[in-house]
A and B are shown apart, each in its own frame.
Chain A
Amino acid sequence: MNVTVNGEPRELGAGATVASVVQMLDVTPGARGVAVALDGEVVSRGRWGDTRLSDGSVVEVVAAIGGG
């Protein structure tokens, strides 16, 4: 299926979850200051593993940076 991750088109296998995307971005499990939105809704860390993506899903994976 085709999804969008942080603005980039990606092709993922069937059954891909939010956890698959996070892993694909080399985020280590337990990494701090990381959060995910799927189609504009926040997915809490505890639900990354069982939240499945679907064709056309838009995923935003964000992390802490310096900012005023």
Chain B
Amino acid sequence: MSDDPLRIADRTLSSRLILGTGGFANHELLAQACRAAEAELCTVALRRLDPAARGSILDVLDEAGVAVLPNTAGCYTARDAVTTAQLAREAFGTDWIKLEVIGDDRTLLPDAVELVGAAEELVDDGFTVLPYTTDDPVLARRLEDVGCAAVMPLGSPIGSGMGICNPYNLSIIIERAGVPVILDAGVGTASDGALAMELGCDAVLCASAISRAHDPVAMARAVALGVQAGRMARGAGRIPRRRYAQASTPEEGMPAFDVPGVSQ
């Protein structure tokens, strides 16, 4: 266990990168990415059983030594999300749920009203709820108020690779949250993960940036290192931004080269 563990509800994690498992070309690539990312927690989804499917993703994740975080991806109503969460609890034997309630099929942005309703119902039903939310500080607060174990604001839309579009809102969420803040969605490359952590996020969830990269295994490692670097930099304390230069070399003791009476 690292000396800087992440605590969410009753769980302690060494890794601050949560890996999304969607979009990998095959299970072998996913297994390699899990190892390269040093992930301890991976999201999984539920879909209609395909009798022709070969090998369960659960065996792959077991082999890689990671725990599963089921999601409710694709749900558009609180009712569907709650039922999906209950199916996930049955299928995976965990009461942890990454709650997604989508409001629009082009932006895949969360439906705030349905999301809060579903979160409240699932918390009451004993779930440990990690909701995917917008970068709206008020909505994040509402989700924390109904008992969510963490909040997962987006940096930008799912799969967009646009990074963190509103670092100011994200900072407000971080400053005011009493639960862990996990950046979810929008990461495009390693520096986005680093920025999230520098801003003070507790962890980063990354799926498409890794699974759809030209070399997913290398990108998994790169994002993991970015997240680690950002966490370290946050702890180290960055210098304030200023509009004018501040010399790093002292002016004191500067030699003078002017010779009296001689014009240059």
Question: Which A residues are closer than 8 A to B by beta carbons?
Answer: 6-7, 25-27, 31-37, 40-42, 44-45, 60-68
Contacts and interface: CB of A to CB of B under 8 A. Distances in A.
Nearest to A41: B83
Contacts of B185: 68
Listed residue (A27, A41, A62) with the most chain B CB atoms within 10 angstroms of its CB: A62
A5 to B, nearest CB: 9
Nearest to B132: A68
Contacts of A67: 20-22, 43-45, 47, 71, 73
Contact of B58 (A6, A32, A42, A68): A32
B92 interface: yes
A6 B23 contact: no
Interface in B42-72: 43-51, 53, 56-59, 68, 71
Contacts of B91: 32-35, 62-64
Contact of B49 (A44, A45, A62, A66): A62
20 contacts: A6-B48, A27-B49, A31-B56, A33-B91, A35-B88, A36-B87, A45-B90, A62-B47, A62-B87, A63-B46, A63-B50, A63-B56, A64-B91, A64-B92, A65-B46, A66-B21, A66-B24, A66-B45, A67-B21, A67-B43
B16 to A, nearest CB: 17
Contacts of A26: 51
Listed residue (A35, A66, A68) with the most chain B CB atoms within 10 angstroms of its CB: A68
B156 interface: no
3 smallest CB-CB distances across A and B, nearest first, come from: A67-B45, A68-B20, A68-B207
B208 interface: yes
B51 to A, nearest CB: 5
B30 interface: yes
Interface string B87-114: 1101110000000000000000000000
Listed residue (A6, A7, A27) with the most chain B CB atoms within 10 angstroms of its CB: A6
B8 interface: no
Interface in B6-28: 20-24
A42 B45 CA distance: 16
B177 interface: no
